[in-house]
A and B are shown apart, each in its own frame.
Chain A
Amino acid sequence: MSNETPDNLPRRLFLREGLWAAALAALGVAAAAVLAKSRKPKKVWQIHPLKCIGCGRCATHCVLSDSAVKCVHAYAMCGYCDLCTGYFIPEPKDLTTAAENQLCPTGAIRRTFIEDPYFEYTIDEALCNGCGKCIKGCSAFGNGSLFLQVRHDRCVNCNECAIAAACPSQAFRRVPADKPYLLKDQL
């Protein structure tokens, strides 16, 4: 097969150089083609609160064992209800902070009395697991001021968000990094 002699050695070298140059050129063209599309700013993952159906997969599908998705409270939209359906289970025994009345499986919502008859609800993110039970409860009967958001202090911004891949309502999207939140009261 090989009939290499010292004679065609320069030819081989020339071929090699040519191939190398061709490869470099090809790589350059490809890089330029891709770079031409790379101008837009950095994107991060976020949940569109109006698309989210609170299915609970955010709690289980994040690559982090403590999900990067947490409940966020748009206080401006909140009714400060006494009977908060995001806080209490349906037909609670009484409107107290007792555990058996709470909807949140981790007790991450804190209920604080403001003035009669208003109560403030704040989220303890360290406890919230992003299950979305309160979101379902709040949007079914309340103002829908509770909603899920990707918290960017936790999110590692995976190339392909594992929750996005599992989201039944395709509510995950890439948003510009300079506006990384889709707050419900500001949509």
Chain B
Amino acid sequence: MSGLRRLLFVLLWMTVSASAVSVQRFPPPEFENEYIIPTPVTPPPRSMTMEIVDTAVLAAALALGSWLALKKRSRKGIVLLSAACLAYFGFWRKGCICPIGAIGNVSLALFDADYAIPWTVTAFFFLPMIFTLFFGRSFCGSACPLGAVQDLVLLRPVRIPEWMEAPLRLLAWLYLSLAVLFAATASAFVICRYDPFVAFFRFSANPALWVMSFAMLVISILVGRPYCRFLCPYGVILRQIGRFSKFRVTITPDECIRCRLCENSCPFGAIDRPTVEWPRTEYARGRRRLLLFFGLLPVLIAGAAALGYAAGPKLAMTHPDVRLAKLVALEQSQAMKEPPDEIKAFRTTGQTAEALYREADRKQRQFAVGSTLVGGWMGLLAGVTLIQNSIFWRRSDYEARRSGCVACGRCFNACPPHRQWLKNKQDKTPGK
């Protein structure tokens, strides 16, 4: 090898006439003819004004979506708007800059003092939240490109039984918690990495992502918005904010006549039926059960926290420094024939292995704390879900659940009072 290098070197020196003592190996030649040394072209990135346009489009879509769902009550309008948003945020903007992925940026910004979050990302993160607090989740129904894909391909909705929904929903919580953990520790933006439809938006992805995207698409044909309901980490945030929303999508513009016609119109299981009082015996049992679950809550939290702590070291492997430290330690403990690129690159930095270990150790400590918190948090959520389902909730009408409703407007047309309302409105409109 060294022989070859030397040969090459000699060859190089022979073929190139280097005149003076070189600063570089071979000084740039002084040309005798007219040749002008070109400069490399540097195409600029997308301009900042376009980001402002993005934000404006989002705000407009949110406002229009809310108006369509709450005031205009037009399913057709909502479909058109979401298709337009799919075209803009999805296919035109290639799925990048979206509030879902912004979770990562915001978490990192909150935990890492050095990370400067672009203001557009901040706007994208908070705008839908603020709108949700006022008008419900019209972002999910109208503006979100991922929601639009799932909504548009939903052909044969299969009703997911409620007993399956609650556990599945916990997945989204887990995804959110882990995503925040990974982002806050500057390890990875997992939400962006596993975006379910970005492969379509960009017309390119690695095979694994293609498979995932197609699987999600096929599931979406049968299951209403599987990503939104069971995985989307932003959806789970909006779900909670939606609980407090000032205004809400109502199935009926008038009084509910309890005709049951809307019962099956929602493919997302977001319509609550009216309830009746429990029998007295059930109350007594319910109270005992509730007591049990309240007692169980600390146990659940502690257990899940312990589990989280145990998973800490594995989760920490997402951070590049921890991975590198492990690799370096592995390399030191057993001779590797050919050290991987990571090790070679690490050696050129001049950083000591010990300093790297220290850094990795710091990260691992962060993960130990973070994953314990995530564990405890998940335990708390599990306990709360159990308690939630042991309480009698009074409802007299068919209602769109504030948390679950994505304001898609599917239930409107199933509601006879809505149709009547529509007719009245058309009659009132002059010229019709």
Contacts and interface: CB of A to CB of B under 8 A. Distances in A.
Given A4-B394, A183-B40, A27 B48 contact: no
Given A79-B24, A81-B15, A177-B48, A159 B29 contact: no
A78 B28 contact: yes
A165 B206 CA distance: 14
If over half of A's interface residues share one DSSP class (helix, strand or loop), that class is named, otherwise mixed; here it is loop
Given A23-B133, A63-B205, A142-B26, A34 B106 contact: yes
Nearest to B98: A159
Contact of A158 (B28, B96, B106, B391): B96
Contacts of B202: 63-64, 156
A24 B341 CA distance: 50
B119 A180 contact: no
Nearest to A72: B40
A155 B42 CA distance: 12
Contacts of A73: 40
B51 to A, nearest CB: 7
Interface string A49-81: 001010101000001111000001111111111
B119 A35 contact: yes
Nearest to B245: A20
Contact of B244 (A2, A20, A72, A157): A20
A96 interface: no
Interface of A: 1-2, 4, 16, 19-20, 23-24, 27, 30-31, 33-35, 37-44, 51, 53, 55, 57, 63-66, 72-83, 85, 90-91, 114-115, 117-118, 120, 122, 141-144, 151-153, 155-160, 162, 165, 168-171, 177, 180-181, 183
A44 B45 CA distance: 8
Contacts of B163: none
B320 A170 contact: yes
A142 B116 contact: no
A95 to B, nearest CB: 8
B377 to A, nearest CB: 17
15 contacts: A4-B394, A34-B117, A40-B118, A53-B344, A75-B37, A79-B16, A83-B11, A91-B4, A114-B35, A141-B25, A143-B24, A152-B45, A159-B192, A162-B193, A168-B345
A19 B244 contact: yes
Given A23-B133, A23-B241, A34-B122, A1 B15 contact: no
B28 A20 contact: no
B312 interface: no
A118 to B, nearest CB: 5
Nearest to B394: A2
Given A2-B392, A156-B96, A169-B341, A90 B126 contact: no
B27 A79 contact: yes
Contacts of B219: none
A165 B348 contact: no
Contacts of B273: none
B218 interface: no
B364 interface: no
Nearest to B183: A160
A79 B25 contact: yes
A122 B33 CA distance: 18
Nearest to B290: A1
B8, B96, B102, B344 — most chain A CB neighbours (10 Å): B8
B395 to A, nearest CB: 10
A158 B51 CA distance: 14
A77 B37 CA distance: 10
Contacts of B205: 63, 65
B394 A157 contact: no
A79 B7 contact: no
Given A117-B15, A160-B189, A79 B96 contact: no
A63 to B, nearest CB: 6
B190 to A, nearest CB: 8
A180 to B, nearest CB: 5
Interface string B225-241: 00000000000000001
Interface in B45-104: 45-46, 48, 51, 94, 96-97, 101-102, 104
Contact of A180 (B8, B25, B44, B391): B44
A28 B377 CA distance: 24
B225 to A, nearest CB: 22
Contacts of A24: 130, 133
Contacts of B320: 165, 170
Contacts of A165: 188, 193, 320
Contacts of A1: 278, 283, 286-287, 391-392
Contacts of B110: 33-34
A89 to B, nearest CB: 11
A77 to B, nearest CB: 6
Contacts of A122: 38
B116 A37 contact: yes
B96 A159 contact: yes
